Amino acid sequence: MGFFRQWKHALESNVEQLERGERINIDPLLLDQYPDAVYVLDCDLKLVDSNEKLSLLFNGEEERFVHPASWLPVTESERVQTFHQRSLQGETVHYELQARNAHGRSIHLSITNTPLYTGRVITGLYGVVKDLTTQTELRERYNRLKVSRLLFERIPGLILIELDLETGAFYHSPQTGNLLGLTKRQLADMKREDFRKLIHEDDRGAFAAAIETLLHDHAQFEYETQLRAFNPKIKQYLELIVKVGVSKDRKAVTWAMFDVTNLVTAEEELTKERSKVRQLCEIVDSVIFERYFESKQFKFLTPGFSLIFGYTEDQFNAHPDYWQKVVVPDDIPKIKQAREVTLSGKPSTFSYRIFAKGNVKWIEENREPIFAEDGHVIGFRTLVKDITQLKEQQEEIWRLASLDPITNMPNRESITESVYHLTRKRDPFTLFSLSFNRIAEINHTFGYELGDEWRVATVNQLIRLLPKDALLGHLDADNVLIVLPRRMEDPEVLALGQKLGTLSTHRFRVDVYDLFARISIGVSRYPEDGAQASELIKHACIAMNRADKKIEAQLELYSSQMDIESLKRYELLRDMRGALQNKEFYLMYQPKVNAWTGQIVGAEALMRWTHPTWGSISPAEFIPLAEESSLHLDLTNWLIEEVCRYLMTLPKKVPISINVSAKYLYQEHFEHVLEDTLARYHIPASYLEVEISETSLLEDAQQITQVFGRLNDLGIPIAFDDFGKGYSSLAYLQAYSAQTIKIDRVFAHNVNQSRKAQGIIRSLLLIAEEFGMNVVVEGVEMMDDLLRLREFGCHVIQGYIFSRPLKEAEFEQALETGTLTPIEEYVEMIPSASRLIHAGITITRLRNQDVAVGTSPIVIMRRGFKTIAFYGAIRLPVDSDLSLVILLDEGMAPLPIQVTRLTELANGLYQYEASYEQTVELEKRLTALESEKPRGFTIQKAKDLIDQTD
């Protein structure tokens, strides 16, 4: 303040000068003695004087300082003016300013303004300016360094270690212990040698030498290297990047270490993955590239582009639209559509064709959009694959999948697809389903190789007979489908059918064999016979099966009308489940009798079904239908239950056998049903015999063996039914443990007159005796046959010669009697006539409703007063509400009849007598239709019902 006191005296000595407005003279030495910048302002805030330090601070423009508006923002300038006014009011004020000097350098000033008094009058102010710029910069720099270091030390995998070379003290950042696997105590006690020991021995020497050089070479201040340091906690070496720095006074060393172990591993993995991608792209003929819409440039990320496209990368980048010349013109719309998908921000996969070095290749692209930071699409990244070989393989697979491998014609799926496309066009067309009807027999007799040759030979011959516009396809076995893409009227259909029917007389040479076909043809037409492909094919096959059943009728047109057989089959299948619930099934028992004494030694339980419409139905009709579904299981369970119940009620018990399908025995735990039922009714197992048809045994020998073993374990005897009809009869005797064989009726019928049948029966009896098995002969009807069988030593007989199947009460009465007497059953046969009529029979009303069904062939053998007798192959009900008519010659009115008598013949045919209304005109018509019976003509088989004179 001594300075100011002297300065104040000088001002006071010049008061008069101030009052006169004259300039005050101040000794500059006084101002220059002060260490900071000083300035003096009068009451008008004009600069009176300043020292040199203010001039240096403002680069010689100290006058500018007292005009703050010239170098400060408006708010700051006004703020300075306020402080000046407060000082002139007698207040000492302190404030700071931040601004830029004339060179644009930021300066930080601390200013103190104090009023100047002359006496008691304020005559001006003086100010002291301290330059805090350097101090402020150092403080801010320190703070920045402090924050930077704090953030630096928090970087994962980064540590700092400082060593004071004078004291040997270590400083380490907080993450050091975690990274190097050291405890806090280990870090606190760490010496320079301890740190050195962490370094891998292969890196230790070079690193120590480099540090020593750094410490002694004053020209060096830092050193960087990569080394390995051991982490004792995880027991493995870390890959570290180390940067070493020495302070300027060379008293401290700092190590900055960054763990790059994961980065090294990641880089290695990335390198491997990139190599794999390149190798994969080379293996699968693919390439990855990017294209940007604005530049239209391609950026290729993997090699191999030219190998796929046949053009260089430069060609594509030099001419951005060059790709349009490479892509097959028909596929360019695919590329443009893919661009629109990409622009919408969605990935896409598509394929197209290109021209590559004179060849056409298939290319597949998997594109994904590339987005800019603002979210709009700027290009795409794509994986391009050469799928030419794949396409060729797909085409070959499709060709093989759509063709029959034997005949090389379209298979069922392919031909069905062709029919489907025709239905979509809605134009009329015609289908022929044709079967050669020999493949199963040929496969079994000659083997599958000859079966394949048969199929090829027949198809080749068939093709020669087909119209040019016909399409041929394989359905199954040796059945084919012929598609004519036009409607064929009946005459044209019949003409082509007749032409195809000549294949029945064609001699097919297969290997060294001459074979003949049995042609059957079915025809369906679109749209009247169906609207869907599968429906039309099914209907053509239905018609073909009808033709096959009619033997000589090679061609059949489909109509919605079923024939009588199909109608009956349909209704039986439909009503069977309800019949079991409604107790329409019942059992009859056919005795098994001692051939000499007539004593009843057992019986066979035979299921029967009384259908409300079709009358009595034999097992031969409904069992095959039941086996098409699971219903046969319910029927067999019912059969076991009923037989055991009946056995319990018999005062005098004999073993009763039941027919069981092999399919029933394949179900798991079937024996529990038998065991539980026998136990519930207290029936010994030996009284229930299981008959298994020898022809129904399947090929799984191991499972059949187990089935037989489980039955034997229960004590239930087993019999082979229908023995001798199958291919493997003798093999079954050796393989399976049955106790009885039942010789089929085909050998017993007329055995007295057949030396072959006699030889077979004698052989079977001998084999049974050797195997310790019982023998039952079925179907014995004639006394001569019984005598012959007695002669052979047959002990047990089952047949009409002793008894037809009996109802429960009748069988009980027979058991009470104990024996049966052999009596030939008289079957009144239709008297042999010299003339006959081939006709058909059909149904016109069923359950009081009109129906339209196809016909079944019959042969009329005799006529009497209001009575007609005929043979047929279908069982018709007697005295039922069915309305039956006989169809005579074309153009003649049908003949209504009422069946009054039915006789089932041994050959599977049926003999009928029926009543009809006689008129003179009708008799004349019938007489006119009669034809001479061919010499030697007999009704033995179904085909004998067909008129073969045409």
Does residue 170 surpass a pLDDT of 80? no
Q: Which pLDDT value is given to residue 684?
A: 94
Q: Which residue has the higher pLDDT, 932 or 795?
A: 795
Question: 757: helix, coil or strand?
Answer: helix
Q: What is the mean pLDDT of residues 254-276?
A: 68
Q: What is the mean pLDDT of residues 230-236?
A: 86
Does residue 22 surpass a pLDDT of 50? no
Cβ proximity of 899 and 615 under 8 Å = no
Counting Cβ atoms within 10 Å, is residue 813 exposed (0-12), middle (13-18) or buried (19+)? exposed
pLDDT interval class at 235 (50, 70, 90):
confident
- Render 105-161 in DSSP notation, one character per residue: -EEEEEEEEEEEEETTEEEEEEEEEEE-HHHHHHHHHHHHHHHHHHHHHHSTTEEEE
Does residue 58 surpass a pLDDT of 80? no
Q: Which pLDDT value is given to residue 908?
A: 67
Q: Which of these ranges, 312-316, 508-512, 819-823, has the smallest mean pLDDT?
A: 312-316
Q: Which of these ranges, 499-503, 569-573, 748-752, has the smallest mean pLDDT?
A: 569-573
- Residue 827: count other Cβ atoms within 10 Å of its Cβ: 12
Does residue 407 surpass a pLDDT of 80? yes
pLDDT interval class at 23 (50, 70, 90):
very low
Q: Which of these ranges, 176-180, 567-571, 617-621, has the smallest mean pLDDT?
A: 567-571
The torsion angles phi and psi of 492, rounded to 5 degrees, stand at -70, -40
Q: What is the mean pLDDT of residues 20-43?
A: 66
Does residue 359 surpass a pLDDT of 50? yes
pLDDT interval class at 699 (50, 70, 90):
low
Q: What is the mean pLDDT of residues 179-189?
A: 82
pLDDT interval class at 738 (50, 70, 90):
confident
State pLDDT tens for residues 828-880.
Answer: 555 556 778 888 888 888 777 777 776 778 888 888 888 888 888 888 888 77
CA-based end-to-end distance of the chain = 155
What is the dihedral angle through the alpha carbons of 528, 531, 537, 543, rounded to the nearest 10 degrees?
Answer: -30
Q: What is the mean pLDDT of residues 739-754?
A: 86
pLDDT interval class at 575 (50, 70, 90):
confident
Q: What is the mean pLDDT of residues 233-255?
A: 83
- Residue 928: count other Cβ atoms within 10 Å of its Cβ: 11
- Among 275, 8, 224, 281, which residue's Cα sits nearest to residue 125? 8
What pTM value is reported for the model? 0.48
Using CA atoms, how far apart are residues 947 and 553, in angstroms rounded to an integer? Answer: 10
Q: Which of these ranges, 7-16, 520-529, 722-731, has the smallest mean pLDDT?
A: 7-16
Using CA atoms, how far apart are residues 544 and 556, in angstroms rounded to an integer? Answer: 6
Does residue 773 surpass a pLDDT of 80? yes
State pLDDT tens for residues 84-104.
Answer: 899 999 899 999 888 776 667
pLDDT mean across residues, the chain: 81
Q: Which pLDDT value is given to residue 696?
A: 61
Q: Which pLDDT value is given to residue 16?
A: 45
Does residue 732 surpass a pLDDT of 80? no
Q: Which pLDDT value is given to residue 149?
A: 62
Counting Cβ atoms within 10 Å, is residue 328 exposed (0-12), middle (13-18) or buried (19+)? middle
Does residue 657 surpass a pLDDT of 80? yes
Q: Which pLDDT value is given to residue 4?
A: 44
Q: Which pLDDT value is given to residue 10?
A: 46
